[in-house]
Amino acid sequence: MKLFGSRNSRSLRCVWALEEAGASYDYQRVWMMKGEGQAPWFKEINPAGKIPVLQDGDLKLTESAAIVYYIAEKFPASGLLPDDLRLRAEVHRWTFFALTELEPHLWAIAQHRFALPEDKRVAALEPTSIWQFGRAARTIEKRLGVSPYIAGDAFTLADIVVFHCLVWATSARLDPPGEACTAYVERLRQRDAYVRATERERVEAERHEATFLVTPVAG
Ligand SMILES: N[C@@H](CCC(=O)N[C@@H](CS)C(=O)NCC(=O)O)C(=O)O
């Protein structure tokens, strides 16, 4: 398996899941800031020019949440996706909540701050996105006030996606939703698999940057 990703992006979700699963994998850093997402070699991997992408044999899978689910199902012993039907339903519920109620507002903030072409940005939309994110984040705060992990008593893939949205919000300088979310983020940051995942992305980024200017990656 090979993951195409970059630091400070949604690829962290996938690297974290791979580390939780104890999978062995190659990692190819794609330097988005240098336009590598549009390089012909990468467009062959993902014509949309986006990361993350997981390659497993002839499968080229995009969408970070789909990749995390794939890893969970390929490595059932990871416990990322429980067997019990009701517990699985909780995992689906909170993952979809994060993807549909949290992430869109974070993405809207990022788009109108810097990601869209300047003439397409509407700064006046930001307060509405912040308000909408805050409303949804309060639901997460309430849940974490009564549950150690988002889907129940055990760590699951839903935690990876929810955590990532909460950390994204902090890096976007949004107010923390509350003490339960803050404590949860601090606790999950201590997980060995999370530490290994962030370190892998850091090391691969440094390695790539040291050689990129000399030898652009050919694929
Ligand atoms: N919904 C996709 C979003 C993928 C995405 O937008 N990735 C960003 C990095 S986090 C990217 O590659 N952006 C480059 C671009 O839009 O050209 C996912 O969750 O994987």
- Tell me whether residue 168 is in a domain: yes
Between CA 7 and CA 13, with CA 11 as vertex, the angle to 5 degrees is: 115
Condensed to tens digits (0 to 9), the pLDDT of residues 163-176 reads: 999 999 999 999 99
Same structural domain for residues 134 and 60? Answer: no
73 alpha carbon – ligand 1 mean position (Å): 23
113-144 pLDDT per residue, tens:
999 999 999 999 999 999 999 999 999 999 99
φ, ψ of residue 54 in degrees (nearest 5)? -110, 125
Report whether pLDDT(213) > 80: no
| Cα 79 from Cα 156, distance rounded (Å) | 7
Residue 116 lies in a domain: yes
What's the 91 CA to ligand 1 centre distance in angstroms? 22
Query: Does residue 104 sit in the same domain as residue 171?
Result: yes
CB 31 within 8 A of CB 212: yes
Please say if the pLDDT value at position 219 is more than 60.
no
**In this structure, are residues 102 and 136 in contact, taking their beta carbons and an 8 Å threshold?**
yes
Residues 102/165, Cβ–Cβ less than 8 Å = yes
Question: Which range of residues forms the domain containing residue 70?
Answer: 2-78+193-212
With beta carbons less than 8 A apart as the criterion, state whether 188 and 194 touch. yes
Q: Using one digit for the tens of pLDDT, what is the confidence trace for 17-44?
A: 999 999 999 999 999 989 999 999 999 9
Coil, strand or helix at 211 = helix
Q: Is 64 in the pocket of ligand 1 (CB under 6 A)?
A: yes
What is the CATH classification number for the domain harbouring 63?
3.40.30.10
Q: What is the CATH number of the domain that holds 141?
A: 1.20.1050.10
For ligand 1, whether the C-beta of 46 sits within 6 Å is no
- Tally Cβ neighbours within 10 Å of residue 99: 16
User: Which residues, listed in sequence order, are joined to residue 61 by a DSSP beta bridge?
Assistant: 54
5 lines ligand 1 (CB under 6 A): no
Q: How far, in Å, CA of 16 to CA of 192, rounded?
A: 10
Residues 27 and 118 in one domain: no
Amino acid at 133: F
Gap from CA of 51 to ligand 1 centroid (Å): 5
Centre of ligand 1 to C-alpha 52, Å, is 7
Could you tell me if residue 218 is inside a domain? no
State the amino acid at position 83 in one-letter form: D
Check: CB of residue 53 under 8 Å from CB of residue 46: yes
Q: Residue 48, Cβ neighbours under 10 Å: how many?
A: 9
Report the amino acid identity of residue 174.
L
Chain segment 53-107, per-residue pLDDT in tens = 999 999 999 999 999 999 999 999 999 999 999 999 999 999 999 999 999 999 9
Counting the structural domains of the chain, the total is 2
In this structure, which residue's CA is closest to atom 13 in ligand 1? 50
What backbone torsions phi and psi does residue 4 show, to the nearest 5 degrees?
-100, 120
Is the CB of residue 17 less than 8 Å from the CB of residue 6?
no
Res 212: pLDDT: 80
